Chains A and B, each alone.
Chain A
Amino acid sequence: MKIKKLLTTYIPVLLIVLFAIGPYFWTFLSSITPEKDLYTVDFRFFPTHPTFNNYTRLFTKIHFARNIMDSLIVAVSTALIGLLITIPASYSFSRFRFKGRNIMLMQFLGINMFPIMLLIIPLFIIMKNLHLMDTHFALIIAYSTMAIPFSIWMLTSFFNSIPKELDQAALIDGCSNIQAMIRVTIPIALPGIVSTGIYIFITGWNEFLYAAILTNSAVRTIPVALQNMIGEYQIEWGLLTAGGIVSALPVIILFFFIQRHLISGMTAGAVKG
């Protein structure tokens, strides 16, 4: 019985987990290998002289600290603005049944269906005409387009899980509609709101396509900085893998904090059908 469980459960699970984290494992090993040792004829899986040289070069040779700063500014602003816009809308969708509600909700969620290419060109031209090219603001605007549909989906689901009787009690106690929302429902939904905000932050931190087109040299987020390193004639894989680890790590750590909330919010709609 034990051997059967080993064969049918533990080994397949182990294989899938290996598939999931294997690329990171290899990327990390490459990042602590001296650059020249990566390109030798006799292949080594583990570095003979492990070093953090690639990581220090990341901050001395290319301006990676500046890239991190740019990414932080853009991602944090997008998360805050995204939440500010979508919290009231989601509350409205969750709490009220009004004319046009379903169409509006569909309209917000349907935005995701349209290819990003439909938006990149006009946004490029708008930003150029407004002289906003190569600014944080251009990216924040562009990223809000991605944040709104997802955030409304998640927050409506979180608000739905809070009993409406709480708002009603507040109204009976003499609160106005706005007070009921701000003083009662939002504080209870806070864990869900924070999780959604962090998820918006993650998508902003990870985004590449808009950043490659809307920014150039004054603002350069991490994904663009890494891609520029690939674009060069001789790719320095030691440096590049170190950059990959540095930029992926915060995202993975943040994600572990929010995964429970995120998954419950995301699946609530789909599982119930």
Chain B
Amino acid sequence: MKKRSGSFPYILITPALAITILIIFIPMFRTFTYSLTNYILWKPAERGFIGLQNYRQAFSDPILLLSLKNTVIWIVVIIAGQFLLGLSTAMLLNRDFIGRGIARSLILIPWVTPSVITALMWRWMYDGNYGVINEILVRLGILDVYFPFLASSSAALWAIMLALLWQGFPFFAVMILAGLQAIPNELYEAAEVDGAGNLVKFFRITLPMLKPVILTTILLRTIWVANSLDIIFIMTGGGPGYSTYTLPLYSYIRAYKGFDFGYSSVIAILLTIFLIVFIAGYIKSILKEGEK
């Protein structure tokens, strides 16, 4: 491209940049200032600067600690599940078989399903009185009687995570499938000449070649999964008790139900810090691996 385009490239970016600053970066900064105030919407008289008091409260808040623990479980289990199922799906859909095009399209359906619909479909299937999952498990002899999945404090989080596995595995499958198609066939042919078996081919060719795609996809999905709260909100609302609280959900409930914007902002900021540390650690470990 010609070098002297002058101010033209900047002019093209200006609208997007202006909007981003105006409705994303400035508001985000405001959230930080709210976190230092006693901002409860329906108590305007008491509103004022209180310094780090919200933060002090947060560090001794047992619900926050539980939410943090659930958030870690949430991210690790869902990402691991989506990755493994996505990888298997991609490997299968990369084979030659009749109906491959249709299968490739159908497995994408969960991915475009609105979160509200995902939540209500699974909530109805998990229903403790009339749910189809209960009926199937009883007929298979796995359960003796119906089990109220979403009303059980030990099972509810896992039940919701299965719904998220459903919604998110197609994204992994699509990305990995694209990665598989980019691996040159000659590599496999050469390996076969050397007498390599399927396992050797998988671990020595497929996985190493897929590595960049897998690492990028895990990063994108981790951010998305860590922030997702709408499905929990609709399936259990955090209950029973606080057993399905995660950090974003806790923040949302404090804002949505209590209009406690100060404390809600604190939780949102702590979540952001947690995510940044998480991602920085992830990227650092990738870079370290690369040096070896």
Interchain CB contact under 8 A, A255 and B166: no
Check B112 for interface membership: any CB of A closer than 8 A: yes
- The stretch among A53-61, A118-126, A187-195 that forms the contact with chain B is A118-126
Q: Known: A20-B106, A205-B114. Is A270-B248 also a contact (CB below 8 A)? A: no
**CA distance in complex: A171, B217 (Å):** 38
20 extra interface residue pairs, beta carbon distance < 8 Å, beyond A115-B272, A121-B268, A263-B178: A13-B97, A20-B108, A21-B106, A23-B125, A30-B124, A43-B130, A88-B15, A88-B16, A97-B1, A108-B20, A119-B27, A121-B261, A125-B261, A208-B115, A227-B116, A240-B120, A241-B120, A241-B124, A251-B114, A267-B174
Q: Across the interface, which residues of B come within 8 angstroms of A226, CB to CB?
A: 116-117, 120
A-B residue pairs, 4 tightest by C-beta: A122-B27, A206-B114, A117-B268, A267-B178
Check B145 for interface membership: any CB of A closer than 8 A: no
Chain B residues 199-254 with CB under 8 Å of chain A are 212-213, 216-217, 223-224, 226-227, 229-230, 233-234, 248, 251-252
Interchain CB contact under 8 A, A212 and B256: yes
For chain B, which range describes its interface: under 10, 10 to 19, 20 to 34, or 35 or more residues? 35 or more
Check B271 for interface membership: any CB of A closer than 8 A: yes
Q: How far is the CB of A247 from chain B (nearest CB, A)?
A: 6
For chain A, which range describes its interface: under 10, 10 to 19, 20 to 34, or 35 or more residues? 35 or more
Interchain CB contact under 8 A, A23 and B92: no
Q: Known: A23-B121, A43-B135, A88-B16. Is A38-B130 also a contact (CB below 8 A)? A: yes
Interchain CB contact under 8 A, A121 and B34: yes
Q: How far is the CB of A146 from chain B (nearest CB, A)?
A: 10
Interchain CB contact under 8 A, B255 and A120: yes
**CA distance in complex: A223, B125 (Å):** 19
Q: Across the interface, which residues of B come within 8 angstroms of A244, CB to CB?
A: 117, 120-121
Closest Cβ neighbor of A181 among chain B residues: B12
Check B149 for interface membership: any CB of A closer than 8 A: no
Closest Cβ neighbor of A273 among chain B residues: B212
Q: How far is the CB of B55 from chain A (nearest CB, A)?
A: 16
Q: Known: A118-B31, A177-B5, A206-B115. Is A88-B23 also a contact (CB below 8 A)? A: no
